Structure 1
């Protein structure tokens, strides 16, 4: 956190006094947020405002220990109390540091570009324990230890481990394998109170010599976490009897006993110095000696908190929406809750709202250029405001719904008097700004949720009609014509096709739209079967009045005859005229309207975002490559004229575009070049340009700069608004109108003092987490916001494993390449790189590398650039130089290596009879992986489907349908082997493996697998998060908060899976000893079960009947 930014803010925040015999009520406690306390013989360390602080063990005035730009967290005293290990972000990367307990310069002791987080100390204080996913093939971490002076880390022999502490004698470790499902990580959090799914936190105790493991006895449906050793017992947190409280476990007797029963907010963390426990609860710190009562620690925190200081900030990287002015001279911008206008070339930025504590969204410029409309929550509920574009004069304010509602897509009528828009209740509206009259347009959409919706609207040139889209019972979208005069609606298109993106020709004769006759399979994006379809579209034109010629009537070259009346421009285009005709299709049937509809001569492709320009000119986007697991779809912007009847490509990598009112220019936003953002960095914002609309865009042409987009930021006013927004969003979106029994009004009032007093953005996240916990639901989480962070120094990785040999870092494994994955090859496996297993890394760019340092410190800042390695024997002999390009992440390399190893293991154990398929998720990645591996092994007799660590995505109905395919027929060819239908099916037994980290779509997949009785489910109970999220707008500062707006229930009318998970038929855990010995207990059990099933039911073989012999006549 940077000090000295102008006026300093000295703040003295006094906490509650010491309380004997218990804790004071939460209402009387201090309202600042102190977190993650640690205790030594004479000090307490804790986190406040993203920094570390220390205070005397008896309380009093705290002193700031760290002041990094990023977040410092998880302080842990060394056994002698002289040093503190912690997690820091000094170089934009999460690593482990130590610092003297009395203050001083922090020492960095881990250097891996992945996240390393401090966990504990070895009993003798020589090593620091930390967790990392550096060696992980998927979504888990392991525990490592590293010298307190830095150096080569050692992995602890535990398959999965998130938090833990070594026993005082150093012979065992008590740990939780996975992170709690309701964790808080400052910038990211999941608010899931009363969690009861498969990832319920457990505590295991494993000896380090023989890896014997016992589990702390756990009550059904509870969470045990934060184990610490003290006096021969393990103390831990658990919600087994209500709110998270403190318990003890005696390893000798295996008895669990309550230590202190909590009746308030959950305890967040637990630590000890071996004599006294310390914990935090709703920002307050308390100590506890077993057998006594908690003592609240009185702490005074006085310090400069720069995050809370009002200041001018640049918001160029926080732009949400941009709207072009009618003449294309300026753009209206939504950024950090303000509506501004910025010049395209010359001039100054104008802030039309200047309201730091009010959220304004979705600006739209009126066609006459006089006004900008936007939605504002100034009154507490969103209303429509119309402001003069020059910033002078009164703002007209129009109240909308009397309930929490979110609005989007404002579209002005050409006469600048009416505005159409949509809301999150699936409705469209028209507001007459001259009278204030609000009218609902037609009826609401039939389907929300994951249906691919269209909210497209278009005004007729005379402002008398509005065309809007509505989905029906079959989820296909129909265009409707709304009459402003009488409020009637007429269906323009048939529900046998999917029609979208309406646009009126500037001359008023035609309505254009995009339609598909093969989109039906893709209209519900939640189903994985939708991935099978790639809808194609045609572009149509409807003659709006009787007597209007077809826009694609046959053309004929004729001699021009001079006359007194000369025409210019587009008057020679079909349909061009000088006098407007009345639209007469109102009241007609879709069949009648169809007779006036023609397809324009454009190729049938994937089109969208159709917009009309000048008379006879249309613009539209074309998808040239589909969205994938690594990025969005590629889109080109095209132009078509009725005169030339040709498609012209104007720009590529387009995100969106908008035409000026006269059709002369357009605003385009494009995805920034240079490839995708590096792992761990935010996505690059799009680039904006205003360019002529009649020619292809030239490189660098018309760029719009937001460098001068400055606003006055008052963080405390912004945080207050975001706190209100949090509750309004849940009321507007949450699928259960009763919020799972949570009294949001009471919760909001209870936490208001904390929201009013916070002085950092991460503390606002803490309050959000506390506020949402009572809703007890998965997928309720938040992230981001303007949290200070340091510039990230991208550490490089070589795609290798190492061992220390002869004082050197020597290569024990090189990752990649993987067959048919040409894009995934480790740096040392690239063609022409002479690197071998057994080589030692002697230097990196002439910097010597030795065992007393971390090799990653020599690779800091090298990701993506060329470096020279010297490789050779540990003695330095046979040295040679190789040039490589380190990568920022090895995750994909390690994942592909893991699944290939599993595939080979299954092949070996089954004698080639079983297929192996891993599904990393149920989105595009899982769809691709299934198609790649399942069909390539369709010659096998059975299959092991591994969905461990499945990250979800869609409902994998496609996978279930393919797995369930049965034999339909055999086919006897003259030559070659007998074929069958289906040809690509594995007809024998299927066994699925799941674990506690598989969730969401990874819950639904094993649930469907069991329901369809496709085979045996092996492993552990799944995560249990089967609700859906989507469509929530960002917070003022760009942060995100979800609100599950879709809930799952079974055909029998019962809520299922959510907060429960899917239990396996055969429970198998990953025993540390077995894993250390090279086994995979879950995978091995699945193979054994499948082979048993094959023995019981051998594969079906074709029985070729005698060939028919017919009578010869």
Structure 2
């Protein structure tokens, strides 16, 4: 449908291409800005394309483009009608992404769809109807093609509705009609699969796009490009041939073939730059290459760049103001004296006073990203990570903003992580992405590598008060976290906790006599036996306990109870300073041994700017050396007398311990505290719903973050008054220079991919060359969406899955009017007087709460009935009933419903429509229910069925609901088709590996109770398809390798390099990096790039599947029935009782 109706470049032409890519094309007009051009279409001498998130038109010869749309949201996928008078496109005028049509000369757009989003324009039919792709009509979430007629000649002139016609194919994402003048729509050539979502050039996994043909009247579609396992997509019809883009030579180029797939020809020969989004009209194909548009003349394969400038004010490149800076907060740190906080927001650093004072924007520079800014112990300067040098290094900045940043480290080759300065300000302890632990000397800039872990990252760091030691968390070979002490003078590491338990969150007491930590040692299960439904298993909900380690032998715990050798002090000493009323070892015994405090730092507006020399010279009060006896230190660990829980994040001052706790099943955490002393050890809730906290250097103040609120509260074991201690963030706006920030984000994304990608050799790709190749195009970018397009092109060079580009400051319109539905397919019946209910999507009858609006008790509407009015408005007065349901999801709506002919009286029904996401879930549930019912019917009650949509916690719920009721059956189908992945494959595989090895027997009856409980004794088949992804593929491969069952279906997606999605950019967007590869015991990488091969290949063909057949499920049932016939599943009969007379 992208058609209406390449080239071999010599050296000069190649230079012209490169010059245009760099924005330096000599043929480009001298006036007007050059943009970033995407998604073109062509009709005659007119090209429509997208730039700045709007639709533009320009001559095929180039020139100054004219803007057609100007809505604040993005418009996409323009397609010009065959007669050249109208333009179809996708827009988000009301919030959801829907299909619109407007005059090509300009005018008011008309909305054609109410699908609730995920719409793309595929093109036009030869007779002037729009073809678009959508998931809204598929039960299993497949992309399908639908035709909509914005001006059906059969309709009267005052008709208000478009005619909608689904194309009967279960999977079809792009397409073009092929034929001749007598029958221009004889065949549909279509791209069977939608884009699989991950940006990977040269992808050849199971979801690789390929072309098929469906002829009018045919029983089934046929493949056209099955000879190539890579991509073939964007079909176009012209000059009696099918034109398309394919990566058969390693780069997406223009090819053509005969209608039967023969006579393959290549027309462009680009190297390294993919042809994107081609469209055809007559003898021309227009396409995107880099940031430019090209025109290919198919008569002679001549190819040229279209020189375009924009008549634009480049509004999205001007300075932007962020109204909610806390949405971008990545770090909040308190000053040593507790009177200020340093905030890292959107890569910039701000210092806020606790109460009154000046707000400081430190080193405002949108072209630099700062990370994890925190105060140095002098209180005058800040330590932060920055990319100012091109690598992530430590810099110090003046806390008052009056001075220049000073670089403190050099030589970084990979992402450095948070650094913690020593109390005397002389050292910085830090880690990096390559599992290395460093010590940096501030004054000299010297860096020492203390250790490199072969197992995993180093974690929390805590300094001793004398700056001669620090504690650090690493990983033992058994994967448990282990706390070690590092001696600064020689860099030696000594473990102080055992590797038998997981330990972390170390913190020194202010007097330097104790090291406190959290350790997972309370391993009591809340489940007391394996008996009961759903296979009860041990669950340890509250594993964490607080511990203390005396750093010298013979220290008495400050929590130890009074005894005759250690009586409690008299009443005359009570109420005095904490450091004077405690026993030696429990507090600060004298002034000489006081913890380092920076003193009262100058207010931000009074503090002088600091230089490198001044920062190094600002020395806190001297602290006597702390003596640590390492001999047997791990065995001296003592438990702090507080109940176990789910704990993390620990801090200690003279009077109390503070930590975070999460209750089982809750997502929020509480800040808890307990006083240090011999009296009742009462745990106090300091604050609820806390996301993070930090103790100030002087131990007197706690910084508490709760959602978007920051509080500075006294560091005491008492409930905080949060209403009076909040930091004033009102009126705070953060500015950003988009083009500077886009350049920074591009380089950051490149660097983060280098540092996160699982293969240090980047799959053999010259990654520095890729940066240099794409960086010049950043200057062409005029919107955040264009930057995402550019990032997608760059990261795709690695040819790795799990490489997604999404998020960030994407432009959105002001309206958010959501579409709602009734959980049914409706068909207009003007003769009958309304919209007829064609199909009501069903839900699991055992879960009545999941029923759709028309199937709920008291609101029953039957299929075939007519909906005449919605809230009193005739349904025939609107283009789609969804118009009358906008913004009404979850609210009561009155329907006037009639059962049959016009003689029947209508009745009123009150329903609550659901949102489009809920309706999609309902459609999916209908598909699941119909598969389960088919297995029950065709399997004659001997087979079970479980469908897993993904591999997350909710999918474990689906497993429990559907497996345990059928665990006694002879066969089991586990359906992971369209499984979106997750991480619970081992949970399910371990259940399937359980074996029944004896059976319990009572006096009477024969209950199916065997050991291991709920072990499946029968035969297993797993169904997979090309959309089985990630952990769904790991599960499928596990079924094969562990010998659990037979896999039936088609080759899967091929994405098995796992990711954490933690390499975010400053605006919260991301180009995810594939971080953790998977290989088998034979030493070969598994699944990635190819997918899992089923044992039995069965394809659900597009047309028959649309009509309701599920060939894969049928084969699964047949295979299980045959396996049961050959190997019957029999529960051993009870033997004769023994005779012992």
| Cα distance between partner residues in 2 of 1:466 and 1:1016 | 54
The corresponding residue for 2:1081 is 1051
Which of 431, 450, 453 aligns to 1:445? It is 453
Q: Secondary structure at 1:506's aligned position in 2? A: coil
The corresponding residue for 1:729 is 752
| Cα distance between partner residues in 2 of 1:559 and 1:985 | 60
| Cα distance between partner residues in 1 of 2:1129 and 2:574 | 85
Equivalent residues in 2 for 1:102-181, closer than 5 Å: 102-125=105-128, 127-148=129-150, 151=162, 153-167=164-178, 169-181=184-196
Shift of 1:84: 0.8
Shift of 1:398: 0.6
Asked if residue 860 in structure 1 is aligned to residue 886 in structure 2, the reply is yes
1:224-250 deviations in whole A, cap 9, x for unaligned? 101122244322111223322222232
Give the conservation status (yes or no) of the 8 Å contact 1:1032–1:1041.
no
The corresponding residue for 1:293 is 301
| Cα distance between partner residues in 2 of 1:301 and 1:385 | 41
Give the conservation status (yes or no) of the 8 Å contact 2:60–2:295.
no
| Cα distance between partner residues in 1 of 2:825 and 2:118 | 18
Shift of 1:775: 1.4
Cα 1:37–1:496 change in 2 (3 A) is same
Asked if residue 796 in structure 1 is aligned to residue 820 in structure 2, the reply is yes
Cα 1:263–1:389 change in 2 (3 A) is closer
The corresponding residue for 1:969 is 998
Asked if residue 568 in structure 1 is aligned to residue 552 in structure 2, the reply is no
Give the conservation status (yes or no) of the 8 Å contact 1:87–1:96.
yes
The corresponding residue for 1:28 is 19
Asked if residue 461 in structure 1 is aligned to residue 474 in structure 2, the reply is no
Shift of 1:85: 0.4
| Cα distance between partner residues in 1 of 2:986 and 2:689 | 32
Shift of 1:1082: 1.2
The corresponding residue for 1:1014 is 1044
| Cα distance between partner residues in 2 of 1:862 and 1:40 | 41
Asked if residue 470 in structure 1 is aligned to residue 474 in structure 2, the reply is yes
1:648-670 deviations in whole A, cap 9, x for unaligned? 22333322122334444433333
Q: What is the aligned residue count?
A: 1052
The corresponding residue for 1:1042 is 1072
Tell me the TM-score normalised to structure 1 length.
Answer: 0.88
Asked if residue 332 in structure 1 is aligned to residue 342 in structure 2, the reply is yes
Q: Which ranges in structure 2 are unaligned for 5 or more consecutive residues?
A: 1-6, 24-34, 152-160, 526-535, 595-623
| Cα distance between partner residues in 1 of 2:690 and 2:164 | 46
Which of 656, 662, 684 aligns to 1:617? It is 656
1:889-921 deviations in whole A, cap 9, x for unaligned? 223323333222211111111001111111222
Q: Secondary structure at 1:625's aligned position in 2? A: coil
Equivalent residues in 2 for 1:305-316, closer than 5 Å: 305-314=314-323, 315-316=325-326
Equivalent residues in 2 for 1:701-780, closer than 5 Å: 702-704=725-727, 706-780=729-803
Shift of 1:772: 2.2
Q: Secondary structure at 1:358's aligned position in 2? A: coil
Cα 1:857–1:705 change in 2 (3 A) is farther
Which of 817, 836, 840 aligns to 1:810? It is 836
Q: Secondary structure at 1:961's aligned position in 2? A: helix
Which of 425, 448, 452 aligns to 2:434? It is 425
Asked if residue 358 in structure 1 is aligned to residue 368 in structure 2, the reply is yes
Asked if residue 642 in structure 1 is aligned to residue 652 in structure 2, the reply is no
| Cα distance between partner residues in 2 of 1:974 and 1:757 | 82
| Cα distance between partner residues in 1 of 2:1043 and 2:860 | 51
RMSD value, Cα? 3.1
The corresponding residue for 2:79 is 76
Q: Secondary structure at 1:621's aligned position in 2? A: strand
Cα 1:642–1:826 change in 2 (3 A) is farther
Shift of 1:22: 6.9
| Cα distance between partner residues in 1 of 2:216 and 2:580 | 86
Give the conservation status (yes or no) of the 8 Å contact 1:796–1:863.
yes
Give the conservation status (yes or no) of the 8 Å contact 1:359–1:378.
yes
Which of 1111, 1117, 1137 aligns to 1:1087? It is 1117
The corresponding residue for 1:5 is none
| Cα distance between partner residues in 2 of 1:969 and 1:158 | 50
Cα 1:268–1:565 change in 2 (3 A) is closer
Give the conservation status (yes or no) of the 8 Å contact 1:77–1:85.
yes
1:374-412 deviations in whole A, cap 9, x for unaligned? 111111112111122111244332123342x22223323
Shift of 1:201: 0.6
Cα 1:573–1:1102 change in 2 (3 A) is farther
Shift of 1:455: 0.8
The corresponding residue for 1:506 is 510
Give the conservation status (yes or no) of the 8 Å contact 1:472–1:495.
yes
Give the conservation status (yes or no) of the 8 Å contact 1:349–1:709.
no
The corresponding residue for 1:487 is 491
| Cα distance between partner residues in 1 of 2:1054 and 2:568 | 75
Shift of 1:63: 0.9
Q: Secondary structure at 1:75's aligned position in 2? A: strand
Cα 1:113–1:1031 change in 2 (3 A) is closer
Give the conservation status (yes or no) of the 8 Å contact 1:817–1:824.
yes
Equivalent residues in 2 for 1:758-907, closer than 5 Å: 758-791=781-814, 792-805=816-829, 806-815=832-841, 818=844, 824-829=850-855, 832-833=858-859, 835-850=861-876, 852-873=878-899, 877-882=905-910, 884=912, 886-890=914-918, 891-907=920-936
1:988-1020 deviations in whole A, cap 9, x for unaligned? 211111111112212222212112222221111
Equivalent residues in 2 for 1:271-290, closer than 5 Å: 271-290=279-298
Give the conservation status (yes or no) of the 8 Å contact 2:142–2:170.
no
Q: Secondary structure at 2:681's aligned position in 1? A: coil
| Cα distance between partner residues in 2 of 1:762 and 1:151 | 31
Asked if residue 412 in structure 1 is aligned to residue 434 in structure 2, the reply is no
Give the conservation status (yes or no) of the 8 Å contact 2:130–2:148.
yes
Equivalent residues in 2 for 1:142-221, closer than 5 Å: 142-148=144-150, 151=162, 153-167=164-178, 169-181=184-196, 190-221=198-229
Give the conservation status (yes or no) of the 8 Å contact 2:77–2:89.
yes
Shift of 1:827: 4.2
Give the conservation status (yes or no) of the 8 Å contact 1:285–1:297.
yes
Q: Secondary structure at 1:977's aligned position in 2? A: coil
| Cα distance between partner residues in 1 of 2:110 and 2:647 | 56
Q: Secondary structure at 1:709's aligned position in 2? A: coil
Which of 303, 311, 329 aligns to 1:319? It is 329
The corresponding residue for 1:674 is none
Asked if residue 926 in structure 1 is aligned to residue 955 in structure 2, the reply is yes
Q: Secondary structure at 2:227's aligned position in 1? A: coil
Equivalent residues in 2 for 1:212-251, closer than 5 Å: 212-251=220-259
Q: Secondary structure at 1:654's aligned position in 2? A: coil
Which of 379, 386, 405 aligns to 2:396? It is 386
Asked if residue 544 in structure 1 is aligned to residue 551 in structure 2, the reply is yes
Shift of 1:693: 4.5
Cα 1:1072–1:1038 change in 2 (3 A) is closer
Which of 626, 643, 655 aligns to 1:603? It is 643
Q: Secondary structure at 2:671's aligned position in 1? A: strand
Tell me the TM-score normalised to structure 2 length.
Answer: 0.86
1:946-972 deviations in whole A, cap 9, x for unaligned? 111111222623322322333312222
The corresponding residue for 2:40 is 37
Give the conservation status (yes or no) of the 8 Å contact 2:203–2:799.
yes
